[in-house]
Amino acid sequence: MGRARRARKVAAAAAYGGGGLTVLGGVGVALMATEMKLARRSIGTPFGAEGPKADGVYGAGVGDPVELVVLGDSSAAGLGADLPEQTPGAVVARGLSAVAGKAVRLTTVAQVGAVSGDLSGQLDRLLEQVPAPDIAIIMVGANDVTHRIKPAAAVRDLAKAVERLRAVGGEVVVGTCPDLGTIEPVPQPLRLIARRLSRDLAAAQTVAAVEAGARSVSLGDLLGEEFRRVPHEMFSADRFHPSSAGYAAAAAAVLPSACAALGLWPDGGAERPPDARRGEGVGPIAVAAVAAAADPGTEVSATQVGGQQRGPRGRWAVLLRRRQEPVVPTEETNVTATDPPTAE
């Protein structure tokens, strides 16, 4: 079964209450989870059980601050960052402030060890503090894989969180499941299993998140050519979580999509069209989701073709690779409906 078809099936099972697919079977997942637990035990927990406290107001400007909220797991909380201002939320807050020319207030409810099922409780606490966030960043999924959560259940919980945030007027950017195959303490061949499971979940998360009204950004191996080349710099001391440099790379992937979601563009908020020379394009959402899962830093969002939201193979989506370009739009051109070329 192709990965695009698996992503559609998991998302459909989530929507209709099914159990979803267990692609590689329980034995491989159980072995991977056991290896990760053993590796964690041998390294310990040098950072404790909480990320740095980064909440506060970043930047300055006229008017009310932009309300930025962050939900999810330890990657969203910034566990492993040296300083609070080096967490993903703080880096994105400073970037948004610079682009918007306004202050940004950061509120973080992400928790170390969280799975997608914990997003509901995080939202309950969050909306008591910030009833109407302007933009939310959700980073979650790794623990769903290692805790053997059924993909459809994890995707369903993510979609519900996106829908709740959209219902109160917030824009949402979802950083999908990172590539667990980059975690060196887990030996081969289990790292290959981890890679496939995490990429499959990331693709399904993209389908569900975009259907619910979010933009997704593939974190993949957290922009990891650098992670593979210099893992001692990009991973923190526990060899599981990113370092401050690693979180900066992840935040750099999320920031352009956050700016786009808020319309923080010059010249009246115009978006640039996809560029086929960069492997970008418009196509069925499941195809775009698979392409994004294999290419860290890639954004997928909903679009229309000929005034229609859906085609024969589901919702139309646009795939953009923003991370290698400045946050500046280009001259508008016509876009035709084409499948991203890297799809399976």
Quickly count helices (H) and strands (E) in the chain: 13, 10
- Looking at residue 247, its amino acid is Y
Marked catalytic residue, from 241, 243, 244, 257: 241
| 74 annotated active-site | yes
| 147 annotated active-site | no
Please tell me the distance from the alpha carbon of residue 309 to that of residue 301, in angstroms, as a whole number. Answer: 12
CB atoms within 10 A of CB 132: 9
Q: Which residues contact 188 (CB under 8 A, 6 or more apart)?
A: none
Cβ pair 289, 206 in contact under 8 A: yes
Please tell me the distance from the alpha carbon of residue 115 to that of residue 8, in angstroms, as a whole number. Answer: 21
Does residue 87 sit in helix, strand or coil? coil
Bridge partners of 105, per DSSP, are 57, 67
Marked catalytic residue, from 55, 73, 74, 221: 74
Marked catalytic residue, from 238, 275, 295, 339: 238
Short-list 214, 212, 211, 206, CA closest to 288? 206
Cβ pair 103, 65 in contact under 8 A: yes
Residues tagged active-site: 74, 238, 241
